[in-house]
Structure 1
């Protein structure tokens, strides 16, 4: 060891001892005399304040050509982002097509949400179950969940639906069948929504989106491929249409109450839980019983679970949207409902052929049983049996 090394060694030993003492006893705040050792301690025990966090990306509107533009104020954007961060069911956004499922809702889920309320155009509340299993409801009900009330895509869907599936066509089915529509905006916009779409079926509102959440519908801004029901309408057309409708509501104060622009919907068919579509036969009651029932009719909510007259229903077929234009096409809906035909054809033969061949939903409706019922009825009224 050289003389220079012998002179330096005590200093290095002292510095090492100081490092050990500081680490073992945090109460000692005196740093070692050597500035180089102090720098090492600072680097070891203190976070690096010069390291900048990685830049965050804006996710409120995906910057892709397949994303639908969002029209709203800065305050609304912040509120929506905060809501999305706190929403465990619906993450903030998705790039591209959402990988959701089309599993049928369980009985437990239906029982949980049957008392959730929806609002009609007058703001009156109705239980969700009353839409498909009330005392006066049809035996089969297709409930269509649309997006916000300014969505041009869903409006085109309802226009095509209204032209292909009319109430008169549903009345021709051997089992009573009907359609109801639910959106996620304010109920005050329902009348203008019906006027804009010409929808002949009742429209309700679920501003809380609780039904969307519980039934597994998700949130996205991805457009996806153009469906046949769009009838050749461009993205610009649907966006401008929604903006114009919003501007009309500035004076009413409803311009920002159309609903969550990221929420997408789906279609759910409710049918009798019994494996047969035979009309249930009720026991005749006396006139006194009927009077008592009428006297207490207003005391019971629609679709009360304990009401023996309410037929139990379940979802036999459903489809959840994966993009903002992913509603089930008309040929599939008509097939599921048991209607003849495929709907009004469009000029774009390629898209129409795809609509005829593609099936998006999951489940098995009772349309085949209804077809057999129609055949049996025709044979019965066909003039008797030959000898």
Structure 2
């Protein structure tokens, strides 16, 4: 068994964030009453997730997507005290049926809040992309370790061995990330262009108010800024 490597502390400048993505204009008032469902199928309005305190909300493509799975693998490594000290909620939202939540959390070890938007109400009203766009200048996700071929084979195998054979969400739907709250204030937003266009977790936490966040790169180092 490979030795588990914990992420290390580093600081990131705002300039680095701006080279990754421009902020998307988001109006939460348009989606605040959309329903999300927890792992038990209990519904709640979307606004409940961010109305009381700041929340980092990450929208996934689908639970079978290998790049989303590896992204959430890294989310699961975030120390709880880092979130608690900053007063931040970490929330993942998928677009499958709620009964896929428990197996996905068991697979990734993700211990924080997770919901689904099975009708893609939030995805559609916010204008998240339903296609993949690749550019020559795109920066690859630092959280995806598998190559495309191996990653797709892993996704297919998980679909074939799932008790309920389905794709656990729209295969063409892309995700994104929002930092919001308290109230309807949006501090940052990013809509993925493709399955590798995740906002780096380190930068998301930095923007959400964590002064020292985590670096999941293969060759981490401490940066003084």
TM-score, with normalisation over the residues of structure 1?
0.48
Within the candidate set 166, 178, 182, 2:79 is matched to: 166
C-alpha RMSD over aligned residues: 2.3
Instruction: Please give the secondary structure, in 2, of the residue aligned with 1:150.
Output: coil
Higher helix share goes to which structure?
Answer: 1
Q: Does 1:321 find its partner at 2:192?
A: yes
Distance (Å, rounded) in 1 between the aligned partners of 2:169 and 2:132 = 14
Partner of 1:366: none
Q: Does 1:103 find its partner at 2:21?
A: no
Within the candidate set 109, 112, 116, 2:30 is matched to: 112
1:101–1:217 Cα change, 3 Å: farther
Within the candidate set 270, 274, 285, 2:180 is matched to: 270
1:208–1:101 Cα change, 3 Å: farther
Q: Does 1:177 find its partner at 2:177?
A: no
Distance (Å, rounded) in 1 between the aligned partners of 2:64 and 2:33 = 27
Distance (Å, rounded) in 2 between the aligned partners of 1:101 and 1:226 = 16
Structure 1: give runs of 5+ residues left out of the alignment: 1-99, 273-311, 357-387
Q: Does 1:331 find its partner at 2:220?
A: no
Distance (Å, rounded) in 2 between the aligned partners of 1:255 and 1:185 = 12
Structure number, greater radius of gyration: 1
Instruction: Please give the secondary structure, in 2, of the residue aligned with 1:343.
Output: strand
Higher strand share goes to which structure?
Answer: 2
Structure 2: give runs of 5+ residues left out of the alignment: 1-20
Partner of 1:132: 50
Partner of 1:236: 149
Q: Does 1:196 find its partner at 2:117?
A: no
**Higher RCO (CA 8 Å, separation ≥ 6 residues):** 2
Correspondences of 1:24-35 after superposition (within 5 Å): none
Instruction: Please give the secondary structure, in 2, of the residue aligned with 1:160.
Output: helix
Instruction: Please give the secondary structure, in 1, of the residue aligned with 2:181.
Output: strand
TM superposition shift of 1:222: 4.9
TM superposition shift of 1:166: 2.4
- Retained in 1: the 8 A contact 2:93–2:114? yes
1:156–1:322 Cα change, 3 Å: same
TM superposition shift of 1:342: 4.3
TM-score, with normalisation over the residues of structure 2?
0.80
Number of matched residues? 199
Distance (Å, rounded) in 2 between the aligned partners of 1:235 and 1:115 = 37
TM superposition shift of 1:162: 2.1
Correspondences of 1:1-387 after superposition (within 5 Å): 102-106=23-27, 110-133=28-51, 137=52, 139-163=53-77, 165-173=78-86, 176-222=87-133, 226-230=140-144, 232-249=145-162, 252=163, 254-272=164-182, 312-347=183-218
- Retained in 1: the 8 A contact 2:56–2:204? no
